[in-house]
Structure 1
Amino acid sequence: MVDNNWLAPVWTLFQQQPLAQGIGLAAMLVGISAFRQRDDGRFRLRLCLYQGAIAFHFLLMGASTAALSAGLSCVRTVASGHTRSPWVMAFFLLLVWGLGIPGINSPVQWLPIIGTTIGTWGLFRAKGIVLRLSMLAGGLCWTSHNILIGSIGGSLIELSFLFVNCHTMYRMWRQPLPNPS
């Protein structure tokens, strides 16, 4: 007989905030589709859709620093698809630091700021596998944050992203996309 008591804390979290947790779980599906993309343009588009949805999830969870970081990340992701300018990158870094750091009142709130910083660098300065490695490093920060604040969808999302992202990097390494001439 299987003991399902390990699900009780997860179910309790879901019952406490069903709308927020439901949006977080739906966002997970969009995010997984992003990290399955080998094409950087499609990756950015789906990543932005995910970031918008997860920002709303965090807002409903009362995690304002994470909501701010995720919302800014959506705008940053779109901008990084149009320019690789270090000045635009610096603008987004200053924006997330200037708006996020003053609101920090616990150590866990640093994790989205650090994760967003790493992801911002990657989106503006890296391509291919290096881009995904930076997203992996930032994702480790977000995974830790989401587990610590009790976000079911956010935790599952980031854990899924870590796995899917590693699998996609492996595919990219084994079978690189042909370079357009």
Structure 2
Amino acid sequence: MTDPFSTAQCVGYLAFALGISAFLQKRDGRLKAFNSAQSFAYAVHFVLLGNLPAGSTAAISGVRSFLAIRTRSPWMALVLVLVNIGVGFWVGAHGVGWIPVAAGSVATVALFLMRGIALRLALFGCTLAWLANNWLSGSIGGVALETIIAVVNAATMIRLRRDRAAAAADDATDLPL
């Protein structure tokens, strides 16, 4: 049985708080900054749980999210995806160990090449993959985090869509008759 107050789980709770904060953000830069901090906490969490593929992917994701604030280079995305896959092989990912590696790779492409709702939709799919990984890893905070992130991210996408619709309606009323 997993001790809900172990060091590993407590670090997972920190990742939980940072992850919720990330997906409450409407601005992409703030989303990426909080996501970077969450990823570093997640890296420690998964290493403490003994899941090296998830810990490695989370560490790479922390670097990735930080770099994605500064650049939108498709070449940087490619390098990070290749590093992620290479580290997956190095730490011996197999079977379900590839779930976080795949999610990290898709999220890398999304963070570098997408914006707005498309970015959040791609990250939503990655959230579902991490949810499966966390369930299989016994990560209490991780399961809670990814479940809440899915809900918060969906709500933020709805808010962004409403904002876009309201702006379009305002633009339509400004047309000369």
Provide the TM-score with structure 2 as the length reference: 0.89
Q: State the structure with more CA Rg.
A: 2
Q: Name the residue aligned to 1:53.
A: 41
Give the whole-Å Cα distance in 2 for the aligned partners of 1:68 and 1:123. Answer: 18
Which residue does 1:13 correspond to in 2?
A: 2
Does residue 150 of the first structure (1) align with residue 138 of the second (2)?
yes
Residue of structure 2 equivalent to 1:86: 74
- Identity rate, percent: 36
Q: Does the aligned pair in 2 maintain the 1:104–1:110 contact within 8 Å? A: no
Q: CA offset at residue 14 of structure 1?
A: 2.1
Gaps of 5+ in 2: 168-177
Unaligned runs of 5+ in 1: 1-11
1:139 corresponds in structure 2 to: 127
Aligned match for 1:103, one of 91, 97, 104: 91
Deviations 1:124-146 (A, max 9, x none): 11000000011111111110010
Determine which of 113, 134, 137 is the counterpart of 1:125: 113
Q: Could you list the per-position Cα deviations for residues 88-122 of structure 1 after superposition, in whole angstroms to 9, with x for gaps in the alignment? A: 11100010001113433541101001100110010
Corresponding residue SS for 1:175: helix
Q: Which amino acid aligns with 1:133?
A: L
Deviations 1:52-93 (A, max 9, x none): 111111111111110100000010111111111111111000
The residue number in structure 2 matching 1:28 is 16
Counterpart selection for 1:65 from 31, 53, 57: 53
Contact 1:101 1:113 in 2 (8 A): no
Is residue 53–residue 93 contact of structure 2 (8 Å, CA) maintained in 1? no
- Segments of 4+ in structure 1 off by > 4 A? none
The RMSD of aligned alpha carbons is 1.5
Counterpart-to-counterpart distance in 2, 1:106 and 1:129: 32
The amino acid of 2:15's aligned partner reads A
Query: Offset of 1:30 from its aligned partner?
Result: 1.1
| Counterpart AA for 2:134 | N
Aligned to 2:158: 170
Tell me how far apart the structure 1 counterparts of residues 6 and 30 of structure 2 sit (CA, whole Å).
30
- Give the count of matched residue pairs: 166
